């Protein structure tokens, strides 16, 4: 039964973490959302106070707290800069799960999460059916960016979105099992939904790079989503189904590293799987920990193993390009120099930093679905910095950032190409 007392009891498990926030308010300096709205409920300190309020039964409005808790990009900037080391993302994801468990999912969320996302084969079939219809409902907006916009009134609003790839990666390369080459290394490759369905070329670029460096690849068939959309919505059931599905496919003993070209998948597997997998069996927990420990962003892997020589000094000349730090690499995994080193090792290019390369692009996964105007306002700031850099190409390491930055550039009519770091690097290997 729903009662404030029961909710307080549920939230009690967060108390030891909640108490560590000393209300200094330093998170206001780095929160991209607070920068837009100036509302305390939008910054980490306010949200932590609200959760504390529910736990202490000073507050009855659980739905109000849930709504405010969902207004967050989960970019992790607050946690990365917190003087007292509050594990903000851990708290928020656990609290979202508790609140969703308490208040329930909406019928639409139930359909999307439990009916589709948690069933990878069905999800793939549905999107395969939808793909051919896109040409009728959408018209190309910008060829360089590969964006489209709606022909008619649509649920996508003013967005310039990217259409589903005609052939997703799981059709192009259903699975792959290659032996280690010159490097002597073998990696698991976690594709991720956006690369599979929207940016298969990024996945192919990653596979090309790995083959070039003599790295053996284990790419299991029928991979599922990493689970972040479900975690973000507090939908534990779907998250655990997805986790179990992926655990059955990725055996840590078969590879030295688990790689992904998606910053968000990397952060989710490395940081969130171990955190949220408490209901698993001991063996599964051990597997999750082993996988998390082996998880790397591809650039991080290339630099760590010495396959790409360190150093940021690029050859003089070359076309200028600028780099956007995805929050999930910069804030969650402290991966900042490695993608730049991979770019420095890409012939014909010269890295030119934009102002505030590490400020959030505003995507925040499902945040941009629910709060598009805020998301776009942050995106426009990013857009201004990209423009001011004068570069015709912006590289990044996350397909979600690519999607949002492309949307912003396309709506503004800017002729700037958005590429994944690995696409840039792979081109130079020809």
Partner 1 sequence: MRDQALIKKFADILGVESVFTQESDLLTYSYDAAGLPGQAPWLALRPQTLEHLGRAVKVCHEEGLPLTVRGAGTNLSGGAIPRPDGVVLLTSALKRIIEINQADMYAVVEPGVVTAQLFAATLAHGLFYPPDPGSQAVSTLGGNVAENSGGLRGLKYGVTRDYVMGLSFFDSEGNLVHTGARTVKCVTGYNLAGLMVGSEGTLGVFGRIILKLIPPPAAAKAMVAVYERMQDASETVAAIIAARILPATLEFMDNFTIRTVEDYSRAGLPREAAALLLIEVDGHPAQVEEEAARVQEICRQHGARVQMAQDAAQRDKIWEARRAAIPALARLKPSIWLEDATVPRSQIPAMIAALTEIAAKCQLTIGTFGHAGDGNLHPTIVYDKRDPDQRQRVAAAVEAIFERALTLGGTLSGEHGLGLTKVRFLADEVGPATIAWSRRLKAALDPKGILNPGKAIGG
Write down the least CB distance from residue 16 to partner 1, Å. Answer: 8
Write down the least CB distance from residue 201 to partner 1, Å. Answer: 40
Pick from 127, 214, 205, 247: nearest CA to 399: 205
Say which residues have a Cβ less than 8 Å from residue 114's Cβ, sequence separation at least 6: 235, 237, 238
Strand partners, 418: 394
- Should residue 248 be labelled a site residue for partner 1 when binding is judged by CB under 8 A? no
Say which residues have a Cβ less than 8 Å from residue 354's Cβ, sequence separation at least 6: 322, 323, 324, 385, 386, 388, 389, 391, 394
Query: 32 or 220, CB closer to partner 1?
Result: 32
Distance CA 199, CA 203 (A): 7
Contact track, partner 1, 79-118, x by CB under 8 A: ----xxx---------------------------------
Write down the least CB distance from residue 55 to partner 1, Å. Answer: 12
- Should residue 28 be labelled a site residue for partner 1 when binding is judged by CB under 8 A? yes
Distance CA 50, CA 84 (A): 18
- Should residue 29 be labelled a site residue for partner 1 when binding is judged by CB under 8 A? yes
From the list 6, 9, 12, 24, which residue makes contact with partner 1 (rule: CB under 8 A)? 24
Give 3-state DSSP helix, strand, coil % of the chain, rounded to 5.
55, 10, 35
Contact track, partner 1, 42-81, x by CB under 8 A: ---xx--xx--x----xxxx--xx-xx-------------
Count, residues near partner 1 per rule CB under 8 A: 30
Write down the least CB distance from residue 414 to partner 1, Å. Answer: 26
Query: 49 or 116, CB closer to partner 1?
Result: 49
What phi and psi values does residue 60 have, to the nearest 5 degrees? -110, -15
Angle between helices 236-249 and 282-294 (to 10 degrees): 70
Largest Cα–Cα distance of the chain, in whole Å? Answer: 67
Query: 141 or 360, CB closer to partner 1?
Result: 360
Write down the least CB distance from residue 25 to partner 1, Å. Answer: 5
First to last CA, the chain: 63
Distance CA 295, CA 259 (A): 6
The strand order across the sheet containing 215-219 reads 176-177, 215-219, 185-189, 257-260, 295-297
From the list 4, 20, 144, 213, which residue makes contact with partner 1 (rule: CB under 8 A)? 20
Write down the least CB distance from residue 376 to partner 1, Å. Answer: 18
From the list 19, 121, 182, 293, which residue makes contact with partner 1 (rule: CB under 8 A)? 19
Q: Which of residues 122-141 bind partner 1 (CB under 8 A)?
A: none
Query: 62 or 198, CB closer to partner 1?
Result: 62
Write down the least CB distance from residue 66 to partner 1, Å. Answer: 9
What phi and psi values does residue 282 have, to the nearest 5 degrees? -60, -40
From the list 3, 6, 39, 222, which residue makes contact with partner 1 (rule: CB under 8 A)? 39
Structure tokens at 101: 């468990």
Q: Which residues bind partner 1 (CB under 8 A)?
A: 16, 19-20, 22-26, 28-29, 38-41, 45-46, 49-50, 53, 58-61, 64-65, 67-68, 83-85
């Amino acid at each position: 039964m729903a009662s404030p007392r029961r909710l307080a009891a549920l939230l009690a498990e967060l108390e030891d973490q909640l108490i560590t926030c000393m209300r200094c308010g330093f998170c206001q300096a780095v929160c991209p959302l607070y920068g837009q709205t100036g509302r305390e409920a939008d910054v980490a300190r306010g949200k932590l106070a609200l959760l504390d309020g529910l736990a202490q039964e000073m507050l009855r409005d659980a739905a109000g707290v849930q709504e405010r808790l969902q207004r967050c990009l989960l970019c992790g900037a607050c946690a990365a800069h917190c003087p007292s080391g509050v594990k903000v993302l851990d708290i928020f994801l656990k609290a979202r799960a508790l609140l969703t468990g308490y208040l329930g999912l909406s019928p639409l969320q139930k359909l999307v999460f439990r009916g589709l996302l948690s069933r990878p084969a069905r999800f793939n079939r549905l999107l395969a059916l939808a793909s051919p219809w896109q040409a009728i409902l959408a018209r190309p907006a910008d060829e360089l960016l590969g964006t489209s916009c709606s022909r008619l009134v649509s649920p996508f609003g003013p967005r310039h979105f990217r259409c589903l790839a005609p052939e997703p990666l799981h059709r192009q390369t259903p699975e792959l099992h290659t032996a280690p080459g010159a490097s002597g290394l073998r990696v698991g490759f976690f594709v991720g939904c956006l690369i599979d369905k929207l940016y298969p070329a990024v996945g192919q670029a990653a596979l090309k790079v790995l083959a070039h460096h003599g790295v053996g690849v284990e790419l299991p068939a029928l991979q599922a989503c990493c689970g972040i959309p479900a975690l973000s919505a507090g939908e534990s059931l779907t998250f655990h189904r997805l986790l179990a599905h992926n655990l059955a496919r990725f055996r840590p003993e078969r590879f030295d590293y688990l790689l992904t070209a998606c910053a968000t998948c990397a952060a989710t597997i490395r940081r969130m799987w171990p955190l949220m997998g408490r209901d698993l069996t001991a063996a599964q927990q051990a597997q999750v920990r082993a996988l998390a420990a082996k998880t790397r962003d591809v650039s991080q892997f290339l630099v760590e193993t010495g396959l790409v020589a360190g150093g940021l000094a690029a050859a003089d000349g070359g076309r200028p390009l600028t780099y956007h730090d995805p929050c999930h690499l910069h804030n969650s995994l402290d991966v900042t120099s490695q993608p730049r080193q991979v770019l420095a090792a890409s012939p014909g290019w010269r890295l030119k930093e934009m102002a505030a390369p590490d400020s959030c692009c505003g995507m925040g996964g499902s945040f941009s679905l629910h709060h598009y105007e805020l998301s776009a306002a942050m995106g426009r700031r990013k857009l201004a910095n990209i423009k001011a850099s004068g570069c015709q190409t912006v590289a990044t390491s996350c397909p979600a950032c690519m999607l949002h930055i492309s949307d912003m550039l396309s709506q503004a009519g800017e002729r700037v190409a958005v590429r994944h770091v690995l696409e840039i690097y792979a081109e130079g290997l020809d």
